[in-house]
Amino acid sequence: MTDVASPTVRVSTRPAESRRDIGIKRRYAAERRFRAYGISAIVIGLFFLAVLVWSVVSKGYTAFQQTTITLPIEFSEKVIDPKNERATDPKQLQTANYPVLARDALVKRLGIDPKKRPLVKQANDMVSDSVRTQLRDIVVADPSVIGKTIPVTLLADANIDSAFKGQIDLTVEESKRKVKDQQVAWMNELAEAGVLKKSFNTGIFSFGASSRPEAAGVGVALVGSAYMMLIVLVLSLPIGVAASIYLEEFAPKNRLTDLIEVNINNLAAVPSIVYGLLGLAVFVNFAGMPRSAALVGGLVLTLMTLPTIIIATRAALKAVPPSIRSAALGLGASKMQTIFHHVLPLAMPGILTGTIIGLAHALGETAPLLLIGMVAFVVDYPGSPLEPSTALPVQIYMWANEAERAFVERTSGAIIILLIFLVIMNLGAILLRRRFERRW
């Protein structure tokens, strides 16, 4: 309604004695106030959007950097396999005391007297506990490294990581913080030597759940989410399109189709947690599908997304003008051929846009997944949709409940990843609409 010419009532500058006072000043002031309310409402809304994004990004961007320590590790046979029984006992390489290797290397690098226990412990605390699996994997992959000295890049402990990123207030009394003065001194020494440095954090994209922030990542959750999105896409797109075609093109106008129509509109507004209860009762309890599986999550999200897709598809079908249908029918096509050969292809951009938006919605959905048991501590990549897995938003929820401050950074980082995916999907939808939208 913006094209309505604004009422240009000119208030005469010369006082006209004959004119009645109709409170024009007061009314114009009210008009200005009203306008200001409107503008401030929009500004407040946008302000909150900005605060939200800023709060996440400012807390999370550091999660994409990780402090690492590169040390020459001596894979000493004395530590890994003191009795030389690795040929006979395969467990030996699995259970060896690998952290000692890293500790010794660090102690040697820093020049600490190995007999001073407290100092050695402080030095050891600078390296992540994940060195155990990291070094084990190196040795198991290639046992010939035993006896050699190789430079290995280790993850720094989360506290050192935070300190190095400047997130820990070092003016606080030493006993009240997790990083000791001695560790800070070592940290600076190593940093100057170029041994300890920040680099791009690939781990956050590849690791699974972990109780140690520095070794926790969203890799496993991404795979779970990918499985679910695939299931949602494969199921909800054909079913949604088929249902919309029937309702829009074939269904007779009667009580039943009216009921289906009202029903679909209502399903679109049912709280998502109710779908979780449905999934738990029907898929897990009744049909006996495995809990925590991406399959169940995908099915629940499919049911949740279907109404959105059906509503979007019906709108897209409705937008195709009747002349197209008449032309096809007039040339002798059957009704089915008219729809599948002519109407559907023309409606496809609209359908895909709706589908992408529905998928983006499903990707960010958390509540129903909590109920079907996807709040699992999953360390390994799920090999199939039947194995226990977790999803990106659920991983965010689990990290949000962790107390350690380093997890706040990780959580924000994971949220940034989630938001980037959503932005990409929505941009895709917008581009699709811009590129293929037709006005008839």
Partner 1 sequence: MSTSLLLLIIALIGIGAYFAGRARSLTRSGNKLATLHSLPGYHGSYVAIWAVLPALLVLAGWLIASPIYIDSAVRSTLPDAVQSQGDATVQLALGQVKAVATGLNRLDATEIETIKDGSANLRETLAARGVALAGEGQPFMVEAAERFNAMRLYSRWLMSAVVLLVAIAGGLYAIRNVTARFRARNQVERVMLGSLVVASSIAILTTIGIIGSMLSEAGRFFSMVSPAEFFFGTVWDPRFAAAGSEGASGQFGLLPLLGGTLYIAFVAMAFAVPIGLFAAIYMAEYASPRLRSIAKPLLEVLAGIPTIVYGFFALVTVGPFLRDISAQLNGLITGNYQNFIQAQSVLTAGIVMGIMLIPFVSSLSDDIITQVPRALRDGSLGLGATRSETVKKVILPAALPGIVGALLLTASRAVGETMIVVLAAGVAARMQINPFEPMTTVTVKIVHQLTGDLEFTSPQTLVAFALGITLFVITLALNIYALYIVRKYREQYE
Looking at residues 204 to 233 of the shown chain, list those that interact with partner 1 (rule: CB under 8 A): none
Contact letters (x/-) for partner 1, 377-416, by CB under 8 A? ----------------x--xx--x-------x--xx--x-
- Binding to partner 1 (CB under 8 A) within 54-113 occurs at 55-56, 59
Nearer to partner 1, 208 or 373 (CB): 373
Nearer to partner 1, 30 or 193 (CB): 30
Strand partners, 150: 73
Shortest Å, Cβ 363 to partner 1:
8
Shortest Å, Cβ 277 to partner 1:
4
Per-residue burial over 2-23, b = 16 or more CB atoms within 10 Å of its CB, e = otherwise: eeeeeeeeeeeeeeeeeeeeee
How distant is the alpha carbon of residue 115 from its chain centre?
A: 47
Give the Cα separation of 95 and 117 in Å (integer): 24
- The one among 172, 262, 327, 427 contacting partner 1 by CB under 8 A: 262
Contact letters (x/-) for partner 1, 335-374, by CB under 8 A? xx-----------------------xx-xxxxx--xx-x-
Shortest Å, Cβ 9 to partner 1:
8
Nearer to partner 1, 87 or 269 (CB): 269
Give the Cα separation of 31 and 258 in Å (integer): 45
DSSP secondary structure string for all residues of 39-63? HHHHHHHHHHHHHHHHHHHHHHGGG
Structure token digits, residue 195: 């041994």
- Binding to partner 1 (CB under 8 A) within 131-190 occurs at none
Residue 426 backbone zone (phi > 0: left; psi -120 to 50: alpha; other: beta): alpha
Instruction: Name the helix (H) or strand (E) containing 324.
Output: helix 322-330
How distant is the alpha carbon of residue 127 from its chain centre?
A: 28
- The one among 266, 321, 341, 384 contacting partner 1 by CB under 8 A: 266
Shortest Å, Cβ 353 to partner 1:
14
Q: Is 7 in the site for partner 1 (CB under 8 A)?
A: yes
What percent helix, strand, coil does the chain show, rounded to 5? 65, 5, 30
- At residue 149, the 3 state secondary structure works out as strand
- The one among 193, 281, 331, 424 contacting partner 1 by CB under 8 A: 281
- The one among 229, 278, 351, 352 contacting partner 1 by CB under 8 A: 278
The beta-strand segments (E) located in 139-254 are 149-155, 196-200
Q: Which stretch binds partner 1 (CB under 8 A): 77-85, 190-198, 306-314, 347-355?
A: 306-314
Nearer to partner 1, 160 or 408 (CB): 408
The answer to whether residues 156 and 128 touch, using CB atoms and an 8 Å cutoff, is yes
Q: Locate tokens 């003016």: which residue?
A: 171
- Binding to partner 1 (CB under 8 A) within 17-56 occurs at 27-28, 30-31, 33-35, 37-42, 44-46, 48-49, 51-52, 55-56
Query: Binders of partner 1: how many residues, by CB under 8 A?
Result: 93
Give the Cα separation of 301 and 294 in Å (integer): 10
